[in-house]
Amino acid sequence: MLNLGLIGQAISASRSPSLHAMLGELNQLPVDYQLQVPADDTAESFNTKLAEIRALGFVGTNVTFPYKQIAIDSADEVNDAVKKVGASNTLLLKDGKVCAFNTDYTGFIRGYKSRMGHSLAGDVPAAGKVLVIGAGGVGRAIGFALFEVGATEVLVTDLSEHSAQSLVDAINEAGYKARVVAKEDIAAAAEDADGLVNCTPVGHLKSPGMPLAAELIQRQKWAFDAVYTPMDTEFLIEAKKKGLKIVSGFDLFFYQGIDAFEIFTGQSVTDVKPVWDQFCEKYEVVSSLI
């Protein structure tokens, strides 16, 4: 039995257990994936929970809000993506060590490539100049991942100027190009962008609405929404209506899960279509956009 988990708060509706169980079935690996909720938001409670599952023989765990930064401090080893992003959502527990990864980073790259198509030469359309709304944990992962799919510049806006500036500074220090966009300059930034990215909770069933005014979605080439409940957010519906290519939050969920499973098991999931088809059918995942 492969014992896996997800450490976070407010995770009762997570689909990660279902995805990992299905991946296990398709790869002849019985999986027991358990939700793990620490007593509170502190690093101490996170580390207590991590110690508990290590003692129980867990092979690995995913990590979500509010522990993605805390997870790094618990790790003995961190990979390059974690070093760039400053957050981890996947911990491999192996040989007495905690190894940190970020599959939001890699999952977005795979999701983008799967949706944007390829040229005859095998090239993926470049992301170009991208407006990123939201500079939290997911925003940081996507902000860096964009440069792996051809971003030329990332424009970052966030309700917290500190968060936006922190991400921009980190991107620039890594040798890429980014700048902060003030609230009053969002319209001009959107008009100048090739891609639009929502990494805020706006659009979730519990936070309905649009992260960007509909009239600002016009001449861009593509859009991504990290929200996947609902799968077809108002933002993506509007973007599709305006002719933009779509990368959904479900793409991110799906591919980051596959990447995590590969890390936990050491096995490659080379054919993802059967997993996608079976998961969508079994759990009634329906989209009119992708």
> What pLDDT, in 10s, does the model give residues 123-156?
778 999 999 999 988 999 999 999 999 999 999 9
The rounded mean pLDDT for the chain is 95
**Cβ distance 239 to 264 under 8 Å?**
no
Rounded CA-CA distance 12/18 in Å is 12
Question: What are the residue numbers of the active site?
Answer: 67
Local confidence band at 118 (pLDDT 50, 70, 90 cut-offs): low
pLDDT at 172: 98
Domains of the chain listed by start with CATH number: 2-101 (3.40.50.10860), 106-248 (3.40.50.720)
Q: Tell me the percentage of the chain whose pLDDT exceeds 90.
A: 90
DSSP letter string, 121-141: TSPPPP-EEEEEE--SHHHHH
pLDDT at 206: 86
Query: Which pTM does this prediction carry?
Result: 0.94
CA 244 to chain centre: 20
Report which of 148, 156, 165, 144 is spatially closest to residue 84, judged by C-alpha positions.
144
Local confidence band at 120 (pLDDT 50, 70, 90 cut-offs): very low
Tally Cβ neighbours within 10 Å of residue 3. Answer: 17
Could you report how far apart the first and last alpha carbons of the chain are, in Å? 34
pLDDT at 264: 98
